[in-house]
Amino acid sequence: ARQVEEMMATTAADPASLSLAAGAGAVVEGYQSEYPDATLSVDIADSLTVPVDEELLLPILDNLIENAVEHNDAETPVVTVDARETDSGVRVSVADNGPGIPSNERAVIETGEEDSLEHGSGLGLWAVKWGAVRLGGELTFEDRKPRGTVVTIELPTDTTDTQTETTAPETPVAD
């Protein structure tokens, strides 16, 4: 919860270009020491940068990598962070070989609505969603074959009108 509060309290600034390889590498390194039996990798060109506030993007990556490793039931968990330039920005993906994100968890994040019957089990994916919105990005989920999930954030490189000083979107929470 503290991480979400810090992300939402981050004020919009003229961000410096963040090296995605270095940022993702630092997050992966922390989890590699915590999960030595997992195979964690970063497939990002050293030269790829994105004009975003690292105080928003790094917690997003942290949440995605943490979820991918902690909820992975494979004999050898495999998590790969990938980023590529697109025509409109940068596509950052975290892929794993775990059991996948349950459809009810995905649905509440994709629709942005919870109720007493349909709700998420934690704040991690909400933090990812809110952080992506704050960065002007778009969050998508995709199933991997034969198993696993790819979570992708499309980030614009034109930061005009993005990274606004907004609060977290209101999320109805079950009583």
User: What residue ranges of the chain have pLDDT lower than 70?
Assistant: 1-15, 111-123, 159-175
Measured CA to CA, the distance from residue 37 to residue 77 in angstroms comes to: 7
Structure tokens at 23: 């940022």
DSSP assignments along 100-159, one per residue: ---HHHHHHHHH----SSS--S-SHHHHHHHHHHHTT-EEEEEE-SSS-EEEEEEEES--
Over the stretch 94-128, which tens digit does the pLDDT of each residue have?
A: 999 999 988 888 887 876 554 444 434 456 788 89
> What's the pLDDT score for residue 22?
95
What pLDDT shows up at residue 105?
82
